């Protein structure tokens, strides 16, 4: 495990629970009745391991759906914490999580344990970066993208192509939802099911200029849940051994703008074959995986900057004593919050921090150096 990852181990209740008395064939009976899954498919799901990168709106919905479907092991990776504005659409969190500023991965793990204690959930309070991606994703059979930035998506794409690991892209913003399956060149597939295009085949470079975010364009919870439902349905096809059923298009829906048919605007781009000229899956140039020119990431338009260049353990109690004279401080065993208006610093146990109140990296780094250290 890389130094910039805080791993919260899966913990099952120590006393008997109602869930422990529910037989699998009863819990999943209606899903087993569905011909596309059946008893064999359910057994496959129980043996599967899915990594979800991002536990915000799409990731929380996807995690809830996979957990209820009986996927045996989930790895949840998220660098952020729960805020009040999340509660409108992020289905695994409640008001207490927001009041405690609980890290999203851990809050999601705890909530999943209340409705399916039979599965294993690993929570990683971490930013997915080149230094930890191998340790975090290597055990997974499938990766679901639920991130808020293209830098991480291109990193996932590089890793997936390099290791022949399938992943599913998903996005939701405003009233818009989109997903795409990526079966990379080099992965084991049936003869009648070849590889698909990768993310870089369709979009050789990340978007340039301003990109709409949930904080600038808003977001409908219904768009989030549509994206997650489409993504998880495709995941279930793959995990039950039916890759030939996976959709081979980038599909997008505009839920708010009326379409010509059924009041829903839909578009699709074919992704059925890789581009031989693609720098990633054609030429195998993994610039994101090697960390070349990796930027400091500004989070989801939230007027925030993440500082992830310092990897060192933090003693929260000692830090609280040090900072108390300079502003408001509170902490738990997972993070510390330091408020010195107009900035708020959230410090994680590995030294990583999110600084709210600015999008200026220089200002954020100066604030971090002044109060945490360089």
Sites in the chain below the pLDDT cut of 50: 1-5, 9-16
pLDDT, position 323: 92
Which residues of the chain are in CATH 3.30.310 domains?
304-371
Cα dihedral 359→77→105→141 (10° resolution): 150
Q: For 154-158, which contacts have Cβ atoms below 8 Å and span 24 or more sequence positions? A: 154/199, 154/200, 154/206, 154/288, 155/128, 155/129, 155/130, 155/288, 155/289, 156/53, 156/128, 157/182, 157/198, 157/199, 157/200, 157/280, 157/288, 158/280, 158/286, 158/287, 158/288, 158/289
pLDDT at position 251, please? 97
User: Smallest Cα–Cα separation from 177: which of 214, 210, 203?
Assistant: 214
* Helix, coil or strand: residue 51: strand
Q: Are strands 49-53 and 73-78 parallel, antiparallel or unpaired?
A: parallel
Please tell me which residue in 198, 201, 214, 278 is annotated as part of the active site. Answer: 214
Instruction: Please give the share of the chain, as a percent, with pLDDT higher than 70.
Output: 87
Q: What fold does the segment set 304-371 form as a domain?
A: TATA-Binding Protein (3.30.310)
Say what the pTM is.
0.84
What is the location of CATH 3.40.50.720 in the chain?
Answer: 5-270
Pick the CATH number of 5-270 from 1.10.8.50, 3.40.640.10, 3.40.50.720, 3.20.20.100: 3.40.50.720
**281 in catalytic set:** no
pLDDT at 20: 60
Q: How far is CA 133 from CA 155, 178, 326, in A?
A: 9, 24, 36
The pLDDT of residue 373 is 80
- Residue 177 and residue 223: Cα distance in Å, rounded? 5
pLDDT at 15: 37
Q: What is the pLDDT of residue 241?
A: 96
What pLDDT sits at residue 18? 56
**Could you give the strand order of the β-sheet that contains 353-356, starting from the edge strand earlier in sequence?**
304-307, 353-356, 343-348, 335-340, 328-331
- Residue 206: CB atoms within 10 Å: 14
């Amino acid at each position: 495990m890389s130094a910039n990852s805080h791993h919260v181990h899966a913990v099952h209740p120590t006393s008997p629970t109602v869930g422990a008395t529910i037989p699998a064939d009863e819990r999943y009976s209606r899903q087993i009745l569905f011909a596309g899954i059946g008893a064999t498919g359910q057994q496959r799901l129980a043996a599967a391991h899915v990594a979800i990168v991002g536990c915000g709106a799409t990731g929380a919905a996807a995690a809830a759906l996979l957990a209820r479907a009986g996927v045996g092991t989930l790895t949840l990776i998220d660098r952020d914490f729960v805020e009040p504005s999340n509660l409108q659409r992020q289905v695994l969190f409640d008001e207490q999580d927001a009041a405690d500023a609980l890290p999203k991965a851990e809050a999601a793990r705890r909530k999943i344990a209340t409705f399916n204690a039979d599965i294993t959930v690993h929570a990683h309070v971490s930013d997915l970066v080149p230094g930890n991606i191998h340790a975090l994703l290597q055990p997974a059979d499938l990766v679901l993208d639920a991130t808020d930035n293209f830098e991480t998506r291109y990193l996932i794409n590089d890793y997936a192509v390099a290791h022949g690991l399938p992943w599913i892209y998903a996005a939701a913003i405003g009233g818009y939802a989109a997903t795409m399956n990526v079966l990379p060149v080099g992965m084991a597939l049936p003869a009648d099911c070849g590889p698909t295009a990768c993310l870089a085949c369709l979009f050789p470079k990340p978007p340039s200029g301003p990109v709409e975010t949930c904080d600038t364009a808003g977001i409908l919870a219904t768009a989030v849940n549509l994206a997650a439902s489409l993504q998880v349905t495709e995941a279930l096809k793959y995990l039950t051994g039916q890759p030939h059923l996976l959709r081979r298009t980038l599909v997008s829906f505009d839920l708010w703008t009326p379409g010509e048919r059924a009041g829903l605007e839909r578009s699709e781009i074919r992704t059925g074959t890789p581009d031989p000229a693609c720098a990633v899956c054609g030429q195998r140039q993994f610039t994101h995986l090697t960390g070349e020119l990796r930027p400091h990431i500004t989070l989801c338009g939230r007027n925030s900057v993440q500082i992830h260049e310092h990897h060192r353990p933090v003693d929260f109690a000692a830090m609280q004593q040090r900072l108390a004279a300079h502003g408001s401080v509170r902490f738990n065993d997972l993070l510390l919050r330091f408020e010195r208006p107009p900035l708020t610093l959230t410090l994680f146990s590995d030294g990583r921090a999110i600084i709210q109140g600015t999008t200026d990296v220089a200002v954020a780094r100066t604030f971090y150096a002044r109060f945490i250290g360089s």
